[in-house]
Each structure stands twice: as C-alpha cells, then as structure tokens.
Amino acid sequence: MKEDNCGTQNCGCGPMVTIPMENSACREPNQTCGGTADMDLNDEACCGPSNHTVSNPFEKPGYKILPYVKRFHHTDNGTYPVIYNDLKFKDKAGTVFTRFGYNRSHYKVSPGLYCSGAPDENSDVFVSANYKISFDHLRRSLKGLDAWILVIDTMGVNVWCAAGKKTFSTGEISTRIKNVGLDKIVKHRKIVVPQLGAPGVSAREVKKNTGFKVVWGPVYTKDIPKFVENKLKTDNDMRKVTFSMAERTVLVPVEVMLVMKISLIIILALFVISGFGPGIFGIDRMVDRGSLISLFFLSGIFAGAVVTPVFLPFLPGKPFALKGIFAALISTAPLVYFYHGKIAITGLIAMLLVAFAISSYLAMNFTGATPYTSPSGVEKEMRKAIPVQLTSVIIALFLWVFAAF
C-alpha cells in the first residue's frame, strides 16, 4: 500500500482517491483516509488482508475514524465524510460530560466539509462552529436533508460565544471556503450562517472575499427543516432568542464545576485565616471558624451559580452583579437565621460580605449566555462591579480576623 502524507492512498487494485486534509474525520491529524467512492464503513478493505487487521478501509493502526462518520462520499472535487444524523449514546454521553466541564476545551470536530445525506452541486451549505455540541445540533436537524456542512475553526467554542470572541468570524469563514474549494463543489453561491454568529461576521466582506452570499439562518437548529421548506427564509419565530428556565438551568453544571476547581484552594485559605486570634493561632479555632465561613462561601457559590440563572427574571435589578447579591440574600437567609446571636456581629457581616462578593461575581458569568445584555454593557458592568467585589472581600477578611479577638 502506497501512502503520501495522508493526502492519497493507493490500494493497487482500484482508483486512487484523494481526500483533502481539510476534511479529516480521523482521531489524529495527518490521517490516511482513502477508499472507494461512497463505500460504507462496514464494507471490506479493498486490498484484502494486510500485516494489520483493520475494521474498515479508512482506518490504519493507531488511527480511528470518528464514530459520527458512516462513509465517504466521492465527487469530482474530492472525497468527503458523510455523517450520521442520529446521535449515538457516545454523543449524548459526551454532551453530558461536557456540561459538567469534563474535556470541554477539547470537545471539538475537525474543521472542513462534511455531508448530510447525499449532497450534490445544488445542495445548501450550512456553516457550523467546530464545538461538537453545536455540530451535533446541526447534523441532527439536517436529518432527511441532503446538505453540506462547512465546519469552521472556532477553537472548540460555540457559535454565539465564538462570534463574541471573533473566532466565528468573517476571516475564518472566508478562509475555510477557499481551503475546501467550495466554489468547485457547488454551483450556487450561498452559505447559511447561524444568526447567532452575526456579531462576528460581515456578510458584505464574506461576499467580497469569496463570492458567496451569506444567508442568515434561524436562531435554533430545530427550525432548519422549516427554514429549508421556506426556501431559506426565516420568519419572526425563527429570529427570536429565548432564555427559558430549562435553557438557563442547563448552564449550571459547568459553572459549578469550574468554580469548584479553585474553591478548594480558597476554602483552605479561609481555614488558615480563621485560625488567627488570641494566642496568635489555634487549631480548634481554625476548624470551628473555618467551617463556619466556608459554609457561607459555599452558600455564595450556590447563589451565584444556581439561584441566579434559575430565577434570573425574578431577581430585582438589571445588572447581573446586583442580581447575584439578591440571590445571596436568599441563599444565606437560613444561615443568618440559625447563627444570629451566636456569633459576633462583625463576624456575621464578614461572612455575608464573602457570600455576596462570590455570588455577585459568579452571576456575571451568565451575561455572555443571555439575550438580556450586550458586549459593551457587560464590559461596563464588570468595570464597575469587580472593584466593589474585591473591596468587599478585603473588608470581609479584615472583619473576620478582627472578630476573633
């Protein structure tokens, strides 16, 4: 078998098939993915047995085709992976783990061109971020449709956030169109771009750079079948962004997991600080007071990462930092009721300031996942809120140590 840098594979008993590097569907880079046109991954290898046993002609030892690819589709302009539209158990499990922060930064697919069904030169082209959950939502919604999926490199970030970070961008879309040679694959000159990607994309510049017109798709991929039926036109419902309780709640696990990584260090520091008092330092005092302030600290995390997103519309005020404070009032109320009169007022104030500060800070994390705010509004709020939060923490620590004397 002759191989050339994964670009081509010659089996010696059939045509040489070229797979552009942009369309890698393998687990590793520089993967050889040759084979015959439209061969299903369950078919036998074209050259018979070799020194190594592989499950299909598109794999080689140490490299494995990703499970969402079922076969490869050969055209005059190259060979492209055809994806499954139904999500398998592994896809669903991966989504759950990612929601809890596991492997989140690496949950992505290779940029390039993919096929849904059996697209041809007249089929629509849908653009997706290479965050796998975004990719999964799109391929599931394209079930029953023959279409191309152009995956751009957003460094594993979803469409909305990537647009804000300028990785879902005019330049990246333009570059990807040129790299896959899209003008040679389809006759029309249109690409469907997610509406939530608009902050990072200039339709006029994409047209100028590539000759392709940007058609803005619906906000949610579930509306794509109706969007296609409407001849690529959105209606008012397709352009509405919702932020329901379910949509807010699904954001909770990853926020909790992210903050818990540093919380252990913070709690350890709170225990050490709690040990200072008469006699300089006391172990018993460290354990007793450290447990108490840590309880309020965890209450603040619960308020900012759970209460705030779940009850967001019902919390007073517009700034998320302020909403976080009200959420902390709710979460700490039982603790204040239980410990009121049992500890010095300065100590109680210190613990409340800690809870308020952490809750207010965590609440601001949700500003990037809601239609309630704008990028400039978020920056303005953070410039005002963060100094106040830091000052509150400093005052709280001073009062906490002072209360021990």
What residue spans of 252-307 are helical by DSSP H?
Answer: 252-274, 283-302
Look at residues 105, 177, 107 and name the one whose alpha carbon lies nearest to residue 136: 107
DSSP state of 400: H
pLDDT score of 45:
31
pLDDT score of 28:
40
CB-based burial of residue 43 (10 Å sphere; 0-12 exposed, 13-18 middle, 19+ buried)? middle
Place of tokens 């965590």: 362
Cα 341 to Cα 231, 276, 350, 402, 403: the distances in Å are 69, 22, 15, 18, 14
Cα 284 to Cα 262, 289, 339, 349: the distances in Å are 25, 8, 19, 22
**Quick one: CA torsion of 365, 367, 370, 371, rounded to 10 degrees?**
-170
Gap between the Cα atoms of 128 and 140, Å rounded: 13
pLDDT score of 64:
62
Q: What is the pTM of this model?
A: 0.72
Tokens (6 digits) for 142: 């394209």
> Angle 287-292-293 (CA atoms, 0-180°, nearest 5)?
105
Task: Per-residue pLDDT tens, the chain, 405 aa: give them.
Answer: 333 333 323 232 222 233 333 444 544 433 333 333 454 554 433 333 333 333 445 555 555 668 889 888 888 888 899 999 999 888 888 888 887 777 777 788 889 999 999 999 999 999 999 999 999 999 999 999 999 999 999 998 889 888 888 899 999 999 999 999 999 999 999 999 999 899 899 999 999 999 999 999 999 999 999 999 999 999 888 888 777 788 788 878 878 888 887 999 999 999 999 999 888 898 999 999 999 999 999 999 999 999 999 998 899 988 899 999 999 999 999 999 998 878 889 999 999 999 999 999 999 888 766 666 666 777 888 889 999 999 999 999 999 999 888
The 8-10 sheet, strands edge to edge: 2-4, 8-10, 17-18
> Angle 154-157-162 (CA atoms, 0-180°, nearest 5)?
65
Gap between the Cα atoms of 164 and 141, Å rounded: 24
Gap between the Cα atoms of 110 and 152, Å rounded: 8
* Domains of the chain, each with CATH number or no CATH: 1-67 (no CATH), 84-239 (3.40.50.11600), 245-403 (no CATH)
Sign of the C-alpha dihedral computed for residues 215, 218, 224 and 227 taken in this order: negative
Gap between the Cα atoms of 400 and 308, Å rounded: 26
Look at residues 14, 24, 22, 18 and name the one whose alpha carbon lies nearest to residue 4: 18
CB 151 within 8 A of CB 177: no
Give every CB contact of residue 318 below 8 A, 6+ residues apart in sequence. 372
